[in-house]
Amino acid sequence: MPAGTSTSTNTTTTPSAEGEFTGKTALVTGAASGIGLEVARRLAAAGASVVVADHNEAGAKDVADALTEAGGRAVAVRVDVTDPESVRRAVESGAETFGGLHLAVNNAGIAGASAPTGEYAVADWQRVIDTNLNGVFYSLRYELPRILASGGGAVVNMSSILGTNGFAGSPAYSAAKHAVVGLTKTAAVEYAAQGVRVNAVAPGFIDTPLLQGAEAQREHLISLHPQGRLGTAEEVAELTLFLLSDRASFVNGSYHLVDGGYAAR
């Protein structure tokens, strides 16, 4: 699916604005790999204290250790975003470690099975909805009070190009990602006056190891993007950090495509 994953823990990067997030604490779900890893990496490089949250506890620890060794501040926490109590513990633990919470990126997600809607297994539907939609709600449910208590901040929810378009064989994924956009807009309206902005990012198909199982479809997926290539985690992270920053202070409740023109066809 469009939002991919990667296993690299390279922490060498040039932040878009050095020190921009100094004094801020950021929580990133799905941060052990792919887009989440790149977002965590850039936040740490720009001065944020980063809570690296992932169901892969060992992977999260590797990332947190690498960020710390590179001069940043980071802690790993295990989270199962389908379990509200697990999410609550992760948010509370991260906020208590660094003395508050100001920023959050709700990135954790799965691709799920592929089948037509009339043949889609109910168990597969529930698994995708639990992770990609309920997981974002649970995250917001516990992040927002902490962000308010810290004096305000910003949240980015990771949707997808399939939050705008349908895609044959992906009814659960597309439904969940469409719903994330509605949830984002609702939370933005509710919390704007209290100093919290909530936006969504919509990656197209991103060139990460998640697509390794779809090599036969690779050329077709490339052809769907007018720019003639897949996107990168770095390109998604760049927009995400902008939306978290004060440079985007009047951007709220919006949905931003990073799709190489996919939705413009």
pLDDT tens over the chain, length 265 residues: 565 433 334 444 444 457 899 999 999 999 999 999 999 999 999 999 999 999 999 999 999 999 999 999 999 999 999 999 999 999 999 999 999 999 999 999 999 999 999 999 999 999 999 999 999 999 999 999 999 999 999 999 999 999 999 999 999 999 999 999 999 999 999 999 999 999 999 999 998 766 666 667 888 888 989 999 999 999 999 999 999 999 999 999 999 999 999 999 8
Residue 71 lies in a domain: yes
**Predicted local confidence at residue 208, as pLDDT:** 72
Beta bridge pairs of residue 231: 206
- Domain extent, residue 247, equals 25-264
The pLDDT of residue 207 is: 86
Report residue 5: phi and psi, to 5°.
Answer: -130, 160
For residue 227, being part of any structural domain is answered with: yes
- Give the residue among 202, 201, 206 at the shortest CA–CA distance from 231: 206
200: domain CATH number is 3.40.50.720
For the question of residue 173 being annotated catalytic, the response is yes
Task: Provide the domain count of the chain.
Answer: 1
Catalytic residue, chosen from 173, 191, 255, 262, is 173
Confirm whether 207 is domain-assigned.
Answer: yes
211 in a structural domain: yes
Instruction: Specify if 242 maps to a domain.
Output: yes
Give helix then strand counts, H and E, for the chain.
Answer: 8, 7
For residue 2, tell me if it sits in a domain: no
pLDDT at 265: 84
